[in-house]
Amino acid sequence: MNIETLTIAETRRLLLSKQASAEELATEALAYAQAENPKTNAYLHFSPERALAAAKAVDAKIAAGEDPGALAGVPVAVKDVIVTKNLRTTCASRMLENFVPPYDATAIERLEAAGGVILGKTNCDEFAMGSTNENSAFGAVRNPVALDCVPGGSSGGSAAVVAQGTAVVSLGSDTGGSIRQPASFCGVVGITPTYGRVSRYGLVAFASSLDHIGPFARNVEDAATLLEVIAGRDENDATSAFAPVAGYAEAMRQPVKGLKVGLPREYFEGLASETGDIIAAAVEKLKGLGCEIVDISLPHTSYAVACYYIICTAEASSNLARFDGARYTYRSPNSGTLEDMYRNTRGEAFGTEVKRRIMLGTYVLSAGYYDAYYRKAQKVRSLITEDFRKAFTEVDAIVAPVSPFPAFKLGEKMKDPIEMYLSDIYTITASLSGIPSMSVPAGVTNTGLPVGLQVLARHFDEAGMLRLARAFERG
């Protein structure tokens, strides 16, 4: 078995042709992942008992002649911000180092019901705040493609395991680019679905109006399969949408000839780089597939970084108030008074970036500044959404870069948080407007670093987005 290159379809074939049992596959995949993990630090912890129990259940179904599910026996990794019953969920934070959740997230329930085998939980930036995975309390992740480089973030571990071949697919979360950007940096496919498409029940909240769960995979088809499994209305999440889930596998096979694809001019200003060349070649490829390329404008793009970092910090400051020492495991040993407990627990267990965001968010929400910052950011958010609405009256999809540059060296941008924030410019507009977006590998630089093409579509048009991405992938 070639675990590093396995796909969902091949896993299915192996199991149904009885070349391997799910239990054998899980055992081998776990051993391989555990042996390879020290190279990247992509997994934080493994879940062998859970994996083997899930695999045995798949084998029993196959033996009984039942349908073992769309993800039967598939080794899956899960970002450690998604809660798993009886399995530690740390959010890569000292605050939750020993937190064992009493329930499963809906996405977890659905993927296990479909036969998925969870190998373990992946590293990430603390509470999903970051763009490089260097904000983890348990050490940075290395990019498997270039071990001296960052894998991107915040879902760096989930992208890395798929690129490294230590999981077939994985789940990540995206608030402002945390699926697409690491997918681009590691050379894998990553999907941020429409806001509300996938239930966030059991996703530890960072910024609730922006948080998404989505899949990583080595090809578009696998990512679509995982998305279809986890998508759809969930009674436990009031923001999950009633919109029916399309059969993505079928929809993806429709031709792309004649599709109108928008190129937002604001995304290409100042992109005279190798990344720019790779994206330009990708656009030529789409032309070759018969797409009509249309020049479009998303005029409020330049306000997106400021807008995003006001809204996400505001929401984070409120969401993270629950980590106070009274609940969720960590409590400072220096908790003589209630106030000491709050101050010392939060002071000791949160990392620098999390503290920075809580302070910024508290500031923009405070009386006197609320109107100047938070309310204004909400207005700007509406304008950015309106930019996309107008663009989608002219085009069927939009393509763009994911990041201004490919993976950079570990440590290179840690000193300057503003520079780090600015690198999110191409991903956060879609997050603010709630439209679906994804990264599909487009090429590599001269030094072998992957560059992803971002594909964006109308709300709930994952099928159209996947169709274009799959046609592009197949060239």
The contact set with ligand GLN (CB under 6 A) reads: 128-131, 154, 174-178, 206, 312, 424
State in angstroms the smallest separation of the CB of 206 from ligand GLN: 6
Three-state DSSP at 215 gives strand
Residue 86, Ramachandran bin (φ over 0: left; ψ between -120 and 50: alpha; else beta): left
Closer residue to ligand GLN (CB): 1 or 422: 422
Cβ–Cβ < 8 Å for 195, 237: no
Closer residue to ligand GLN (CB): 170 or 344: 170
Q: Which residues are catalytic?
A: 79, 154, 178
Closer residue to ligand GLN (CB): 175 or 225: 175
CA 339 vs CA 121, 172, 328, 465: distances in Å? 34, 35, 17, 50
Cβ–Cβ < 8 Å for 138, 127: no
Residues paired with residue 82 on neighbouring β-strands, in sequence order? 203
State in angstroms the smallest separation of the CB of 404 from ligand GLN: 13
Closer residue to ligand GLN (CB): 68 or 182: 182
Place of tokens 């929401």: 315
State in angstroms the smallest separation of the CB of 183 from ligand GLN: 12
Three-state DSSP at 123 gives coil
Of 35, 50, 51, 77, nearest to 169 (Cα)?
A: 77
State in angstroms the smallest separation of the CB of 354 from ligand GLN: 11
Write down the H helix ranges in 66-149. 106-113
Q: Is the peptide bond before 158 cis (omega within 30 degrees of 0)?
A: no
Measure the CA angle with vertex 100, ends 96 and 102; round to 5°. 130
DSSP character at residue 458: S
Closer residue to ligand GLN (CB): 73 or 172: 172
State in angstroms the smallest separation of the CB of 299 from ligand GLN: 23
Q: Which residue is nearest to ligand GLN (CB)?
A: 178
